[in-house]
Amino acid sequence: MGGGPGPRPSTRPEEARAAADTLQLHLVVGLGNPGAEYAETRHNAGFCVVDALARRGHGRFRRGLFAQSETCRIHLADLPVLLVKPMTYMNLSGKALVPLLRREGIPAARLVVVHDDMDIPLGRLRLRAGGSSGGHRGMASIIASLGTDAVARVRVGIGRPPDGIDAAQFVLSPVRGGERGLWQQAVDAAADAVEGVLREGLERAMERFNGAASPS
């Protein structure tokens, strides 16, 4: 006599994959200001880097209904990644980010923030495990919203303003002329650095990427 059907698996393969992705999901947020007038400015280095990562992962940013951000889900370094561009303007970046972290159940340990830094020369990077905002208002908003400064960062150097140029005017100015090549190298290297953090961990990535924009 034939027996009845065997027990059904508790989850389908796609459900198991979704559950595994949830446990491994990392969030990479690029800081910047929304709007075409800011698209090519130095202060939008973070946006430029996550745009580069989205292209690598064959993803596209979409505006979500839940939070004040554009998001893009991809896989990088064999890990699920949620790329985020806050649409709140720089000073309120934390207001957009924290609801996403809570909704996705992502701890601060699986968060990487990418932003510009005037204290680093154009074309250079500096990865950091935590610490103060260094005067960066977007980072300050995230630290205040999270209640911790233990956040991995990939800082993209934009250099100091020339004599007689106001700092606020400088960061909102576009990169032009002979600086464009170095700028693009830095953006590409910062995208590599994010992948390095995901693949190797922050300490190993710091050894490789801190300093020159084009590490060996």
58 is catalytic: no
Among 61, 153, 57, CA closest to 114: 153
The one catalytic residue in 26, 43, 115, 136 is 43
Element (H, E) at 72: strand 69-76
Among 184, 216, 180, CA closest to 55: 184
3-state secondary structure (DSSP) of residue 40: coil
Tokens of 109: 């340990």
CA distance 156 to 199: 20
The burial class, CB within 10 Å (0-12 / 13-18 / 19+), for 164 is exposed
Which residues are tagged catalytic? 43
